[in-house]
A = this chain, B = another copy of it.
Amino acid sequence: MRLADLTTPALVADADVLDANLRTMSAALPGARLRPHVKAHKSTALAKLQAALGHRAFTCATVREMEGMAAAGLGDDLLLANEVLDARRLGALDARVTLAVDSEPTLEAAAQGGVREVLIDVNVGLPRCGCAPEAAGRLADLARRRGLSVRGVMGYEGHLMGVEDRAKRAFATGDAMALLARAHADVGGEVISAGGTGTYDTNRVATEIQAGSYALMDTAYAKLGLPFRQALFVLGSVVSVSSAFAVADVGLKALGMDHGNPAIEGAKVWFCSDEHVTFASDAAPRVGERIGVWPAHVDPTVAYHERIHLVRGEEVVGELRVDLRGW
């Protein structure tokens, strides 16, 4: 099948760029130094490509992602880097399950759900989950008294992922990780899990990096000057043309929009509506022409699609099912 035969909108990844991204990261962070985050691609098929490069431990954001990874035979060491209040589905998995906890109720949920291993989730500056660094030791003690094995700490410096200046990003990452190191001194355990695509090479404290976006990338991460290229785009068809603008069939239901409009090469995107993107282009697009629409944020874009078509040039060479959607 050729690219031109796909029904649009279609989520597409360049197979060679994806492969290069995966290999570049594996060279920088081999084996257990990388714990790939599956939330970015939500695909066990893509996770298997990561596993084939030597990464057998994965990060998930939802219980359904954990279940899907276990069912796909990728359950050697699964971390749910998120708090849950009902851990029974996790306790029932045939997999090694580690769960983030940041409070007594979430710790209690882990124990009651049959989860045996936890990481203490520490707030390192992003206003989201994680206990205060100075509270981590006490929480670890509570967890151990409750019969849980505490593997260490995690802390996501998500507020720093988008800092475009590398030196500033590295400096701020150091500050954030000093908080995590302090918590780790109180908690103990062999794991310090942190980081992401934006800080994979500047985080000097984490024993493992939870990067996910590097595989497919998006226009936001592309600004950081990382050695990963954008593999992912939404293929669209131009369905209408006027003198001032053109319209393609890639809209809000095919794109994560929280980071703003997508990009179209050589064009200025005006706005998106449910099933359309309106754009102005000097290239005078014609009705029927195929275009690539480059998403601003990979994760919520992928979550709208059933599959990622793999292409090499104009040839469709495979597909990755997006089988970890929902909760």
Min Cβ gap A246→B in Å is: 10
Given A128-B240, A128-B273, A257-B257: A300 in contact with B252 (beta carbons within 8 A): yes
Check A274/B105 contact, CB under 8 A, given A256-B252, A288-B85.
no
Question: Closest approach, in angstroms, between the C-beta of A232 and any C-beta of chain B?
Answer: 16
CA distance A39 to B254 in the complex (A): 13
- Which A54-79 residues have a C-beta within 8 angstroms of B? 61-63
| Contact present for B83 and A240 (CB under 8 Å) | yes
Copies in the complex: 2
Please indicate the chain B residues that have their CB under 8 angstroms from the CB of A244 in the complex.
127
A129 at the interface (CB under 8 A from B): yes
Shortest distance from the beta carbon of A300 to any chain B beta carbon, whole Å: 4
Q: What is the number of residues of chain A that contact chain B, defined by CB distance less than 8 Å?
A: 57
Q: Is the interface of A mostly helix, strand, loop or mixed?
A: loop
Asked if residues A287 and B257 are in contact (CB atoms below 8 Å), the reply is no
Distance (whole angstroms) from the CB of A116 to the closest CB of chain B: 20
Task: Enumerate chain B residues within 8 angstroms of A127, measured Cβ to Cβ.
Answer: 242, 244-245, 270, 278
Q: What's the least CB distance linking A247 to chain B, in Å?
A: 5
Q: Which residues of A are interface residues toward B (Cβ below 8 A)?
A: 7-10, 39, 61-63, 82-86, 102-103, 105-106, 123, 127-130, 132, 158, 237, 239-242, 244-245, 247, 249, 252-253, 256-258, 270, 272-276, 278, 287-288, 297, 299-300, 303-306, 325-327
Please give 4 more A-B residue pairs, beta carbons under 8 A apart, in addition to A7-B86, A158-B273, A257-B258.
Answer: A83-B240, A102-B240, A252-B300, A305-B326
